[in-house]
Amino acid sequence: MNCPKLLVAALLAVLSTSAVAEPRTATIKDPDTKAWWAITEQLSSDAMEGRDIGSPGHDRAGRLVAERFKAAGWKPAGDNGTFFQTFAVHESRVDSVVVATLQEATADRYVSFLKEFGVRASDDLPERLEAPLRFAGYCRPEDLAGATGKVVACINTRRAGLTTGAERIRNATAAGALGLIQVDDPGFTIEPFRWPAAYARAITLADAPPPKTGGFVVMTMSVAAFARLAEGSGQDGAAVMAAGGAKQPLPTFDLPGKFSARFETSQRDYTATNVLAVLPGSDPTLAAEHVVLSAHLDGYGYGEPVDGDSLYNGALDDAAYVATLIRFAENHRSKPLKRSVLLAAFTGEEKGLLGAYWFTRNPTVPKASLVANINLDQLRPLFPLKLMTVLAIDDTSLGATVRTLAAAQGIRVQADPEPERSLLTRADHYPFLQIGVPATGFIFGYDPGTEAERRYREWYQVRYHRPQDDITQPMDFEAAGTFHRFFYKLAETVADAPQRPTWNPGSGFAPKP
């Protein structure tokens, strides 16, 4: 862990929260933003250990959130009169891997687990895999001739018109391959692949089937590692990947020697918790309906070190927006809205939206009473808020409400300009859409080629799911305040509106008649 984080942890142990927060918050003029950042610093401090699902640090953070909700006068909305909704999960983990390519007349070529090579965890991962290697382009069915009994490598593209990850696995399995290595697509620059990976874990709800692949091994790899595997094949591995990144036709070819890997795995079962609070509505009729405001409490916890730091604090992803829920609760300490408002700090978002899925399948209020979800995630206040991407903006009447309120603040809005990133399906609003509840989420937008875009891209390259997403990172606190004013007004408007949000014609999420 790096020295600044050790210093923060030491200070937290001996000083009050306000004293620790003062050096950063001294320049924040807006009182609400100042209070918000102080809470963010608490939730993303080293004392919370990155808030990994099921960890002691997550439990500490959850208790802090529940205490703040209670102090603000909100009521428990969890299980059995508590602020916590508890559910069981199952974890499969790859603890270590030793990988080598065995080649005649050359030294073994190793690739480093987590630093340039990852493995999808499953309960039935074999202890050992040894097979010839073949490069199979995009892993389309026509690319997979000669794949039987081999480990195939394919480009791990996420772009429209090419194979998806699920299609590559399905095609390789159907072709008789024993495993699949998905190599980074260097052309996917809007959200580049980065190494190291924090760890190799798969977590599922305990009432769902555990992660299994029938013994088929699914892996990922950096371009540099693949280029080493391709040495002696007559092909330049990096050049092949560059061609794939340009969506050009790709060759298929055997790689020298064999792929050999030994896997050490473990499994465990434990419980996880959402933190839920409700402010009952003031209107005799509308109080029976609930507007859900959500953010995710969990982070990555400890993982593979980056620049010597192994603690993934998750300040903007998503401690800062759990702090926003707390500030909303405190701002409405004695100001109920017409509808009831349910605050949800979900867990397990980073492992597959687990807490949101559990809640939407097992709501602690009547399912029919859920009228809207406004989710806070994917928000990066790094530059002035002049343009905002609104997810599912054209699916429900929430989009029109957002447009009106944003325009009043001088904020332009847009639909997602980068659908290939699948941001709509990667955050906790998505389970609500799937059960027919109007939902939305937001992203700070930018115009192409601007300083705002540079800062946005830099964040994903350097800080996303990295230890560098901590309280020392660059921030635009005025932009954060602008967003909070928008969010507060949106939540209040939806909660007080005479009519609940409705579905727009043609939405693919609208419940079928």
Phi, psi at residue 302, to the nearest 5°?
-85, 140
Q: What angle do CA 140, 145, 146 make, to 5 degrees?
A: 135
User: Is 180 a domain residue?
Assistant: yes
Q: Encode burial over 151-167: b for 16+ CB neighbours within 10 A, e otherwise.
A: bbbbbbbbeeebbebee
Number of domains in the chain: 1
Residues 6+ apart with CB under 8 A from 184: 156, 193, 220, 221, 222, 223, 241
User: Is 357 a domain residue?
Assistant: no
User: Is 206 a domain residue?
Assistant: yes
For residue 241, the tally of other CB atoms under 10 A from its CB is: 26
Q: Encode burial over 297-322: b for 16+ CB neighbours within 10 A, e otherwise.
A: bbbbbbbbbbeebbbbbbbbbbbbbb
User: Is 203 a domain residue?
Assistant: yes
pLDDT of residue 1: 39
CA gap 491, 378 in Å, rounded: 18
CA gap 49, 68 in Å, rounded: 20
CA gap 30, 302 in Å, rounded: 33
pLDDT of residue 25: 76
Is the Cβ–Cβ distance between 123 and 263 less than 8 Å? no
DSSP state of 27: T
pLDDT digits (tens, 9 = 90+) for 409-428: 999 999 999 999 999 999 99
| Cα–Cα separations (whole angstroms), residue 66 to 61, 79, 227, 230, 346 | 9, 13, 50, 53, 12
Report which of 346, 338, 339 is spatially closest to residue 377, judged by C-alpha positions: 346
Q: What angle do CA 158, 159, 165 make, to 5 degrees?
A: 35
Q: Would you call 157 helix, strand, or coil by DSSP? A: coil
Is the Cβ–Cβ distance between 479 and 387 less than 8 Å? no
CA gap 383, 320 in Å, rounded: 16
Phi, psi at residue 204, to the nearest 5°?
-130, 155
User: Is 172 a domain residue?
Assistant: yes
Q: Would you call 356 helix, strand, or coil by DSSP? A: helix
CA gap 421, 431 in Å, rounded: 18
Residues 6+ apart with CB under 8 A from 240: 135, 230, 250, 251
Which residues are registered as beta bridge partners of 99?
111, 261
pLDDT of residue 17: 36
User: Is 102 a domain residue?
Assistant: yes
CA gap 36, 51 in Å, rounded: 18
For residue 41, the tally of other CB atoms under 10 A from its CB is: 23
Q: Whole domain around residue 141: which residue ranges? A: 91-267
Residues 6+ apart with CB under 8 A from 268: 90, 91, 93
CA gap 408, 302 in Å, rounded: 42
pLDDT of residue 343: 98
For residue 260, the tally of other CB atoms under 10 A from its CB is: 17
User: Is 65 a domain residue?
Assistant: no
CA gap 431, 250 in Å, rounded: 37
Residues 6+ apart with CB under 8 A from 199: 93, 114, 303, 304
pLDDT of residue 107: 53
pLDDT of residue 23: 60
| Domain CATH for 192 | 3.50.30.30
**Residues in the chain with pLDDT < 50?**
1-4, 6-21, 105
248 in the Ramachandran plot: left (φ > 0), alpha (ψ -120 to 50) or beta? beta
User: Is 295 a domain residue?
Assistant: no
